[in-house]
Structure 1
Amino acid sequence: MRRGPDTGSGAEAAPAPPKGSTPPDRADTGDVLAASVARVRRAAGLTLSAVATRAGVSPAYVSQMESGAANPTVRTLGQIADALGATPAELLGGTTPVAPAAAPGFPPRFAPAPLLAQADGHRGIFDLTAPGATRLGARLLHADLGDHDHPTAHPGEEFAHVLAGSCRVSVGGAVRLLRRGDSCHFAATDEHHFTDPSDDLLMLVVLTEE
């Protein structure tokens, strides 16, 4: 009797999965994704409609993702992840998005005028933010620009609002005259400085660190 080819193990080959069925690994991934979307959405306090609006899909589609009935494209998965404040890898891996580290704590500061602390020995510059603040700085300038008249660049953003008087601001080579009520907001990484303050200048300058 002719023998069939030797498989080397003596065990019968596993039957092929039925046509149209989902491989086990893909099914597991779909279950993890569905559970992740639901868990992260609830943890963020978001409704189906809120996630759908952010992601540009319908609430029904988000519901289908949470039930495992949807098969999102890479692009749609990215949109859903962005809407949830997560990454596709976090959703597919079943991990919880890590919240950004909180800024170091510091005591609050209440500073009613004229009990503001003079800054850097300048008679007309007052610090408004609390000592120990690391991500936000605010100053009130009164006819004295101090070190703000030196060209500089630093991380973060800067905002200035003229409450009275006038001065000039130079940002990245562009120069503008700011009068009462005018303001400017710019990336502090661009070289900038203020010049030509009027005697009655009163300006609020706010700086944020990255």
Structure 2
Amino acid sequence: MKIGEKLKKLRLSNSLTQEELASRADLTKGYISQLENDATSPSISTLKDLLDVLGVSISEFFAQSPELEVVFGEQRRVVASEEGGLKVELLVPGAQNRTMDPALVTLLPGEAMDEQPFHEGEEFGFVLAGRVELILDGKSHLVRRDECFYFPSDRRHQVRNPGKTPARILWVVSPPTFFC
């Protein structure tokens, strides 16, 4: 990655405008724009000033980024729970270090998850197969294949399969607190 691209990425990850970064580093907005477009190169002292504002050392800035893993196949799934007619597979290993926890939940006909206690965050589910009954604060909602649900996790919630075929749900919890 070019210096300008890296600077822009750091600036954006710090939620700074070009003008804000320029002001904090005692530079001009035009110069920041030129840097980010690789139209000019900074001196070492200017680069250090910019990186100080962005909270990154020069060695961190030039360190090679580890290869980012983005594709996770079936062999990488971790079975978090498998009891009776409920199976929960974590789809992305190491989700405790991430902001969300995607899982594949399979419920056999007539099976139900235990009611989940209140916790922080949000939950999203997309029914891939079958249908489920979402019970949220005592109110029942039928969710069919190709439909989804979304709710804040600070509510009592439970899911059961009222159908005659297995139900599969892509379930995402944020932050990771997985519900098994």
Residue 207 of structure 1 deviates from its aligned partner by 0.5
Cα contact 1:116–1:127 (8 A) shared by 2: yes
Q: State the SS of the aligned residue for 1:139.
A: strand
Residue 103 of structure 2 corresponds to 139
**Partner residue of 2:74 out of 113, 126, 130:** 113
Q: CA RMSD in A?
A: 3.6
2:174 matches 1:208: yes
| Counterpart amino acid of residue 43 in structure 1 | E
Residue 89 of structure 2 corresponds to 126
C-alpha distance in 2, partners of 1:142/1:159? Answer: 15
- 1:27-68 deviation per Cα after TM superposition (whole angstroms, max 9, x unaligned): xxxxxxxxxxxx9662379xxxxxxxxxxxxxxxxxxxxxxx
C-alpha distance in 2, partners of 1:118/1:165? Answer: 21
Cα contact 1:129–1:136 (8 A) shared by 2: no
Cα contact 1:140–1:202 (8 A) shared by 2: yes
Structure number with the bigger relative contact order (C-alpha 8 A, sep ≥ 6) is 2
Residue 19 of structure 2 corresponds to 42
C-alpha distance in 2, partners of 1:125/1:170? Answer: 19
Cα gap change, 1:44 to 1:197, in 2 (>3 Å): farther
What is the percent sequence identity of the aligned residues? Answer: 19
| Counterpart amino acid of residue 20 in structure 2 | A
Residue 29 of structure 2 corresponds to none
Cα contact 2:112–2:161 (8 A) shared by 1: no
Cα gap change, 1:117 to 1:172, in 2 (>3 Å): same
Residue 149 of structure 1 deviates from its aligned partner by 3.1
The runs of 5 or more residues in structure 2 that have no matched partner are: 1-15, 23-53, 56-67
Residue 179 of structure 1 corresponds to 144
C-alpha distance in 2, partners of 1:200/1:129? Answer: 23
| Counterpart amino acid of residue 129 in structure 1 | V
Residue 192 of structure 1 corresponds to 157
TM-score (norm 2): 0.51
C-alpha distance in 2, partners of 1:133/1:118? Answer: 18
| Counterpart amino acid of residue 97 in structure 2 | A
More strand by share: 2
Q: Between Structure 1 and Structure 2, how many residues are aligned? A: 115
**Partner residue of 1:169 out of 134, 138, 151:** 134
Residue 150 of structure 1 deviates from its aligned partner by 1.9
C-alpha distance in 1, partners of 2:82/2:116? Answer: 20
Residue 24 of structure 1 corresponds to none
Cα gap change, 1:40 to 1:114, in 2 (>3 Å): closer
